[in-house]
A and B are shown apart, each in its own frame.
Chain A
Amino acid sequence: METLIFWSLSGLIVLFALLVISAKNPVHSAIFLVGTLLFMAGLYILLDAEFIVGVQVIVYVGGITVLYLFVISLIVLKRIPLESTLNRQWPAAVIAGLAVMVEVAFFLLKGDLFFQVFEKKKMIYGTGETAAIGRALYGPYVFPFEIATVLLLLAIIGAVLMSRKPERDQTPES
């Protein structure tokens, strides 16, 4: 049962991710991105990470993708030429991406030879309780946590500064 759920979820994830990068309309892309993130949350449920599931659904699906849709609706889509959505160098780009995938897969399968990180053992269940995450966040990881708050503040200020309307030139023509 778990295997069936896993394979159907991963198939849907890969399908929707391919649709994200191949859709012509950015709105369709954003909708497919929502689907990908939701199915990814399903995989997190399989991995016993309930808190991460909540954060994923609330922050990613409810926050970030809605931000994307908001910006897409701010931009007038009519003027974007739709004749060619791909770069000139797309065959080379696809080959380079597949080369990276082969590299990563090689190191995942043969990583024991180089790093000795894997043991052939089953995964441990019930490690992602929310209380343990909270204890870790406010215990040994409290300094990165504070840095994250500063980062978010900087992002807010930066976004406001960047998207402000440019002020008209006040210099009188002489």
Chain B
Amino acid sequence: MEIYNFLAVSTIVFTIGLIGVLVRRNIMIILMSLELMLNAVNLNLVAFSRLWGGVVGHVFVIFVITVAAAEAAVGLAIVIAVYRHRESINIDDMNLLKW
């Protein structure tokens, strides 16, 4: 397999995640789209790591997964806190910082 196949899949999944973040109103699905984008980046890193024959990409994938776990924990805690105050997980209702 050429590396371009993997890069193409990664690009498509990243775009789908980006469109999901921009388009949806449910904040849970927005967080899931963020996970999709992080996974696309991971696929890129592993493919490049095999192209260059090193192990650095795998190490970075492990760090990205760590950051994704931390992001999921804090993000879902924020979702629960907002839901307690506003009774909603619609992103259009979270406009306290909007001027």
Name A's B-contacting residues (CB within 8 A).
Answer: 2-3, 6, 10, 13-14, 17-18, 20-21, 23, 26, 29-30, 33, 36-37, 40, 43-44, 46-49, 51-52, 55-56, 59-60, 63-64, 67-68, 71-72, 74-75, 79-81, 84-87, 89-90, 93-94, 96-98, 100-101, 104-105, 108-109, 121-125, 127-129, 132-133, 136-137, 141, 144, 148, 151-152, 154-156, 158-163, 165-166
Q: A13-B13, A26-B29, A68-B31 are in contact. Are A80 and B23 (CB under 8 A)?
A: no
The A/B interface has a contact count, at CB < 8 Å, of 235
- Which of A10, A47, A60, A74 has the largest number of chain B CB atoms within 10 A? A47
Of the candidates B1, B11, B70, B83, the one whose C-beta lies within 8 Å of that of A105 is B11
Contact B70 A152 (CB under 8 A): yes
Residue of A nearest to B32 (CB): A33
B5 within 8 A of A: yes
A4 to B67, CA, bound (A): 33
B94 within 8 A of A: no
Of the candidates B4, B25, B26, B71, the one whose C-beta lies within 8 Å of that of A108 is B4
Contact A101 B11 (CB under 8 A): yes
Chain B interface size, as a band, is 35 or more
Contact B78 A75 (CB under 8 A): no
> Hey, what's the 0/1 contact readout for B8-22 against A, CB within 8 Å counting as 1?
110111111111101
A21 to B62, CA, bound (A): 25
Which residues does chain B contribute within 8 Å of A47, judged by CB atoms?
6, 46-47, 50
Contact B61 A80 (CB under 8 A): no
A86 to B50, CA, bound (A): 39
> Hey, what's the 0/1 contact readout for B52-84 against A, CB within 8 Å counting as 1?
111110110111011111111110111111011
Contact A127 B54 (CB under 8 A): yes
A121 to B67, CA, bound (A): 32
A10 to B20, CA, bound (A): 19
Contact A163 B32 (CB under 8 A): no
Contact A75 B51 (CB under 8 A): no
A133 to B61, CA, bound (A): 11
Contact B16 A21 (CB under 8 A): yes
Can you show 19 pairs from A to B with CB atoms below 8 A apart?
A6-B5, A13-B9, A33-B35, A49-B58, A56-B65, A59-B65, A64-B69, A94-B23, A101-B14, A123-B1, A123-B47, A127-B50, A144-B63, A151-B66, A154-B70, A155-B69, A155-B74, A163-B77, A166-B84
Q: A48-B50, A80-B90, A133-B59 are in contact. Are A159 and B74 (CB under 8 A)?
A: yes
Which residues does chain A contribute within 8 Å of B62, judged by CB atoms?
52, 55, 133, 137
